[in-house]
Amino acid sequence: MISEDKIAEIRERAPIAEIIGNYVVLKKSGQSLKGLCPFHNEKTPSFYVHPKRGFYHCFGCKASGDVFSFLMHVEGKTFPEVARDLAEQTGVQLPVYDPQREAEHQRNKKHTERLASLMEKATEFYCNQLREHPDAAIARAEIDARGLSEESARTFRLGYAPHGWDVLARYLERSGASPADAEAVGLIVARRSGRGHYDRFRHRLMFPVTDVHGRVVAFSGRALEPAPAMEQPKEPPAKYLNSPENALYHKGEILYGLHEGRVEIRRESSVVLCEGNFDLVALHQAGFGNALAPMGTAFTDAHAKLIKRFAEKVTFLFDGDSAGRKAVREAYGVLTKAALAAHVVTLPPGSDPDSFLREQGADSLRTRIVSAPTIIEHLIDEAADVTEPNPHAKAEAIAKLGPILAKVESPIERGLYVERLARKFGIADVGLVRRELRRGLGRTQRSTSAPRDAVQQTIAPPVSELQLKLISVLIDQPTLVHEEGIEKLPQLLTSQDLRAIFDSILRMVDRQGSLDVTALLDELKDNQLRPWLEAKLAVQQHSIDEAREILDDGLPLLERKSIERELPRLQQRIVEARRVGDDALAAGLTREFVELTRSAHKLKANPKQR
């Protein structure tokens, strides 16, 4: 754990403009700096950095935060990794609060580094074997048959695992590596006799798998045709053999090609997701540097979160077989949860990305990717294609799509999808389709005990521009929270979220005399106006004199509007009190009505009087 004081010290010492300037060309714009956003493609600068506040915000993609979040986003690192890196760069000494935990951390770090070094050593061994081993010609022929260049093989560090039982085990032993470590990362396997080890990967084309930081954490070995001197196996080996999960490798959290493609992915803000190792390398070679592949597992929440660090869109390029179609269907919920847009490319029967590229070329594949339907369009079309042409089957297929369409936020998009669904199933009455979709949604809700309609979204109540303006000037000039008349403001705000922002500003000024941007956002992490607040913090618009003038004009106007909203309610209460015969209450409410009416006239006649 790193204390808040140390985090604040690192943040204060880390020059955010200089650090972001290593990734973005920034130019002066008022009290901020602006440039092209590094997180999405744009031609007009919408990315602002406020050096004094230590904060950035993109008005295009809405990315925002401090120096920590920027480096986490652009480098794909965790907060502790970024904090330790910045501490070293800025000379901040991180204290040891818990010697026992720190010692454990250092032990774990050394253990991880030792295992990573061992995997690197194995990678070098396999690469050398691909060049030097007599039987590696079979592996090289496989690479050539796939049309992969030497440059691609070098980039992805393809290698060859010899067919001898313990070639790697003996090499590692000679190099002084620990057999226990080699066994722990799945390079070797203990013999059943209990004496010695044998190699896990034998006579295979080796694909090293790296994590987002470029460390080799696993291997995927593809089976090859037997070498002449080898005994014929009793049964064909598995086509692919992957490393078991270990301290470095958790397959549900690793995407093959992410380290190699991270720059292109961030620039494109999109990912092409394929299935196979050869597909991945072939796609990169053909110019699709944003291609990734999960490691022989379903698309997981961890995969989606990893992609979300770098991109906003996923295009599925899976095989067109039943397994590929199932993978796309199962991925829909994961993608929706992560707010990733998704499209699906359908390849001809029998094709995979590797074979398609060799047969039809990169331009043809690029055309398909650009014109790929959304995942919902794909699911609608697929359902229509595979459903039996009878009324019951059609009704059931449409009902099953109800929960999927309910997750579409935009009513316009949802309506267009419903119309597409009606056309694909040959149903003229769109209203019938809507009813069937609702039936399917209701069935899902009952099975999951969902208390609310899945399509219902929590929407923040509208906030008046005047109220936003008044809070905006207090963000620019927070010391004005103690100006005469400002104490009325919280009662005049109709938005609970704005009142929460005001209260946080007041507490912060009372406590330390200024705003701490990071602490303010932490306090308001669940506030529905947080996106507005983030954008406001990135650009300072008002000087102290301008802020005072806006408050002088705005507060009386807001007070008058508040009175004008209250008067009709008072009138209704007076009528109700008289109707039930409560003359005393009616008289009191009438006096209140008269006083408020006078106040409104007074504010209208002399608006700048607080």
| pLDDT number for residue 277 | 93
| DSSP structure string for 13-77 | HS-HHHHHHTTS--EEETTEEEE--TTS--SS--EEEETTTTEEEETTT--EE-HHHHHHHHH--
Binned at pLDDT 50, 70 and 90, residue 129 comes out as very high
The residue-averaged pLDDT of 189-197 equals 86
CATH of 4-90, one of 3.90.580.10, 3.40.630.10, 3.60.20.30, 3.40.50.720: 3.90.580.10
What is the token pair recorded at 433? Answer: 């389709």
The pLDDT, as a whole number, for residue 54 is: 92
Q: What's the mean pLDDT in 190-217?
A: 91
pLDDT at residue number 132 = 95
Handedness of CA 131, 134, 139, 142 (dihedral sign): positive
Spell out the residues 6+ positions from residue 5 whose beta carbon is closer than 8 angstroms to its own. none
- CA separation for the pair 226, 194 (Å, rounded): 29
Weakest mean pLDDT among 52-66, 88-102, 365-379, 448-462: 448-462
Cα–Cα distance between 35 and 44 in angstroms, integer? 8
Residues 6+ apart with CB under 8 A from 234: none
Closest CA to 299 of 318, 278, 279: 318
List the structure tokens of 482: 């103690």
Share of the chain above pLDDT 90, in %: 44
Q: Flag whether pLDDT at 601 surpasses 70.
A: no
Q: Has residue 460 got a pLDDT over 70?
A: no
CA distance 483 to 462: 27
Over residues 351-360, mean pLDDT = 92
Q: What is the token pair recorded at 54?
A: 């230590």
pLDDT, residue 346, reads 87
pLDDT class of 185 with cuts at 50, 70, 90: very high
CA distance 387 to 393: 6
CA angle at 77 for the pair 73 and 78, rounded to the nearest 5°: 105
Alpha helices, DSSP H, located in 361-401? 362-370, 375-386, 391-400
Give the integer Cα–Cα distance in Å for 426 and 448: 31
**Sheet (strand 291-294) strand order:** 255-256, 291-294, 270-273, 313-316, 341-344
The span from the CA of 495 to the CA of 421, in Å, is 40
Residue 448: CB atoms within 10 Å:
10
Instruction: Kindly tell me if the per-residue pLDDT of 221 is higher than 90.
Output: yes
Among 102-111, 169-178, 401-410, the least confident range: 102-111
Residue percentage of the chain with pLDDT more than 70: 93
**Considering the domain 108-248 in this protein, what is its CATH number?**
3.90.980.10
Q: What's the pLDDT band for 1 if we cut at 50, 70, 90?
A: low
- The two three-digit tokens of residue 70, written as one number: 């920027």
* Confidence (pLDDT) at 34: 92
Is 292:277 a contact under the CB 8 Å cutoff?
A: no
Tell me whether strands 159-161 and 188-190 are parallel, antiparallel or unpaired. unpaired
Q: What is the pLDDT of residues 279-306, one digit of tens each?
A: 999 999 999 999 999 987 788 999 998 8
The confidence score (pLDDT) of residue 535 equals 86
- At 454, the pLDDT band (50, 70, 90 cuts) reads very low
pLDDT given for residue 593 in this prediction? 74
CB 267 within 8 A of CB 41: yes
| Confidence (pLDDT) at 94 | 79
Q: What radius of gyration, in Å, describes the C-alpha atoms of the chain?
A: 32
- Sequence-separated contacts (24+) of 94-97 with Cβ below 8 Å: 94/2, 94/6, 95/3, 95/6, 97/1, 97/3
Q: DSSP letters of 184-243? A: HTTSEEE-TTSSSEEES--SEEEEEEE-TTS-EEEEEEEE-PPPTTSPPPSSPPPSEEEP
- The gap between the terminal CA atoms of the chain, to the nearest Å, is 49
CA gap 19, 48 in Å, rounded: 14
Torsion of Cα atoms, 341 then 346 then 351 then 357, to 10°: -60
Tell me the whole-structure pTM to 2 decimals: 0.63
Picking from 197, 196, 187, 206, the residue whose alpha carbon sits closest to that of residue 143 is 206
> Rounded mean pLDDT of 325-352?
87
Element (H, E) at 159: strand 159-161
Asked if 539 and 48 touch (Cβ cutoff 8 Å), the reply is: yes
With both helix axes pointing from N to C terminus, report the angle between 79-90 and 67-75 in degrees, rounded to the nearest 10.
Answer: 120
| pLDDT tops 50 at residue 164 | yes
- CATH fold for the domain made of 253-372: Dna Topoisomerase Vi A Subunit; Chain: A, domain 2 (3.40.1360)
Q: Is the dihedral of CA 100, 101, 102, 106 positive or negative?
A: positive
Which helix (H) or strand (E) segment is 255 a member of?
strand 255-256
Distance of CA 270 to the CA centre of its chain: 11
Q: Which of 45-54, 261-270, 502-511 bottoms out in mean pLDDT, i.e. has the lowest?
A: 261-270
Give the Cα separation of 443 and 345 in Å (integer).
31
Residue 164's DSSP bridge partners are none
Burial of 316 (0-12, 13-18, 19+ CB in 10 A): buried
Per-domain residue ranges for the chain?
4-90, 108-248, 253-372, 379-448, 465-605
Highest mean pLDDT range out of 193-207, 260-274, 555-569?
A: 193-207
Summary mean pLDDT of the chain: 86
Average pLDDT in the 304-315 region? 88
534 pLDDT exceeds 50? Answer: yes
Cα 397 to chain centroid distance, Å, stands at: 31
Distance CA 124, CA 362 (A): 31
The pLDDT of residue 557 is 87
How far from 590 is each of 58, 162, 578, 585, CA to CA, in Å? 52, 97, 11, 8
pLDDT for 320: 66
Domain 465-605 has CATH 3.90.1150.10: no
| CB atoms near residue 84 (< 10 Å) | 16
Could you say which of 1.10.1790, 1.20.50, 1.10.1060, 1.10.10 is the CATH number of the domain covering 379-448? 1.20.50
Given its phi and psi angles, is residue 390 left (phi above 0), alpha (psi -120 to 50 degrees) or beta? beta
Residue 459 has pLDDT above 70, yes or no: no
DSSP annotation of 295 reads S
Strand partners, 170: none
Residue 361 has pLDDT above 90, yes or no: yes
Task: Summarize the confidence of residues 134-144 as an average pLDDT.
Answer: 96
Amino acid letter for position 420: R
pLDDT, position 453 = 36
3-class DSSP state of 343:
strand
**Using 50, 70 and 90 to split pLDDT, how confident is the model at 425?**
very high
Q: What is the pLDDT of residue 577?
A: 76
Q: For 489-511, how does the pLDDT look when each residue is reduced to its tens digit (9 = 90+)?
A: 988 888 888 989 999 999 999 88
Per-residue confidence (pLDDT) for residue 329, from 0 to 100: 86
